[in-house]
Chain A
């Protein structure tokens, strides 16, 4: 365990789990785009990934992601506490030159994302909040599949729910805006010439990802997607 007792070792595992979680978000976003294709697409997609053929894969992915999430949170908290101890006060007049809002709020945005994640899972996976809007509350669609499309559209027609999701995406953007590049830097990827390019690319990627997720509630709110 010498690797994990070293400050760089801890950061590396943190970065690696972060990258895996980000790749999951990319896959999740690709799945979400089926909403834009209408009820036929998203319902077929949802039925497909929940089918017996994909069940082992789905559960394997869930176990890996949960392990990554647990490690990411545990190491993040440990590093946050150690770093706070190393820097009890930074003086009376602190001016930041390179550190932006994103890098300075990583721990807090991380906590907010965890809170959102729990809410999101209760909403669309475990169906224990907004039960009147959950898939099981609606009759199957014309093809006899669970009508996820109706659940999504009716959920986001409520400004409160849509607003919560949009706010959460802003926080995810803030977290990954620093997180994507920071992971690559910790894993030792950048060279002299590629460092500024990777930094910018990470920021662009984070913004695009959050914007992509925000597209679904926005599309419902503006009436682009309706029943």
Chain B
């Protein structure tokens, strides 16, 4: 397969960026999008051109490190798929593919496709701790959790913190990310006691870090590689309201 790429390249955080055109030949359909970029980078290095900078780690869709906007869609056109999991067979032979970094004021571009996502870490830090006994680990079934709660918490815990929700959101809000964490921790007995504090502090820090507010566009749900549902946002809103009333009292 051969592809024509339009890749966003930017020298540094302050430098102006623009799209560069590249042609990649002899692409194997089974290659992932990142492997195709690896191949292009090898060719660029041979030519003496600086390679395209992008992040990746596990390359199996569980770490949340990779992430770019492919053809106008965070993590590319394939639903519930991270960038590293998209195979080149998902594109048409000869297609022009546009690749640009995740865009948000809270995600400043560092170089090419690499963005700073420390804002999400700050939000996690603001979430604080969960009440769990230290020492010898507890018996597996010492704390009973209803099956539905387990499933619900597990679905929310699938969030890998990649930031695609922020990139897709017209307001660059991190609500789906925060909602996933709140839903995951607040549904389980170990995380339940701190839920009010967590709901208040995480949303406050979200705003401080420059993420927008939620307008319920639901673009986040459409691009989430882990299928986190916007219903968790309604749950977060309830948790916030309860916490605010409690703080008042």
Contact = CB atoms under 8 A, between A and B. Distances in A.
Contacts of A8: 203, 213-214, 236-237, 240
A90 B171 CA distance: 9
Contacts of A182: 215-216
Contacts of A90: 103, 170, 172
B244 to A, nearest CB: 5
Interface of A: 2-3, 5-12, 79, 82-83, 85-99, 103-104, 106, 178, 181-182, 185-192, 195
B52 interface: no
Contact of A87 (B98, B169, B231): B169
Nearest 8 pairs between A and B by C-beta?
A: A86-B212, A188-B238, A93-B72, A97-B222, A188-B237, A99-B217, A83-B171, A7-B213
Given A83-B212, A93-B69, A189-B234, 17 more contacts: A2-B200, A2-B244, A6-B207, A7-B173, A11-B213, A12-B240, A91-B103, A96-B217, A97-B73, A97-B222, A178-B216, A187-B237, A188-B234, A188-B236, A191-B234, A195-B230, A195-B231
A92 B101 CA distance: 11
Contacts of A99: 170, 217-219
A12 B100 contact: no
A94 B72 contact: yes
B115 to A, nearest CB: 12
12 contacts: A2-B244, A6-B207, A9-B240, A82-B207, A89-B103, A91-B72, A93-B100, A97-B219, A99-B218, A185-B216, A185-B230, A191-B231
Given A99-B218, A106-B215, A7 B71 contact: no
A86 B210 contact: yes
B105 A6 contact: no
Nearest to B239: A188
A89 B170 CA distance: 9
A96 B73 CA distance: 8
B79 to A, nearest CB: 9
A187 B240 CA distance: 10
A30 B105 CA distance: 46
A190 B71 CA distance: 32
Interface residues of B, number: 48
Contact of B244 (A9, A85, A98, A192): A9
B interface secondary structure, majority = mixed
A144 B172 CA distance: 60
A54 to B, nearest CB: 35
Counting chain B CB atoms within 10 Å of each CB, the highest count among A2, A86, A104 belongs to A86
B19 interface: yes
Contacts of B235: 188
A201 to B, nearest CB: 15
Interface string B192-214: 00000000100110110011111
B106 interface: yes
B203 A7 contact: yes
B104 interface: yes
B241 A188 contact: yes
Contacts of B241: 12, 187-188
B221 A98 contact: yes
Nearest to A94: B72
B233 interface: yes
A82 B215 CA distance: 12
Contact of B105 (A7, A87, A185): A87
Contacts of B229: 192
B72 A86 contact: no
B215 A103 contact: yes
A103 B231 contact: no
Contacts of B231: 190-192, 195
Nearest to A15: B237
B219 A96 contact: yes
Contacts of B247: 2
B69 A91 contact: yes
Nearest to A93: B72
A7 B231 CA distance: 18
B66 interface: no
B153 interface: no
A186 B214 contact: yes
Interface in B88-131: 98, 100, 103-106
B158 to A, nearest CB: 15
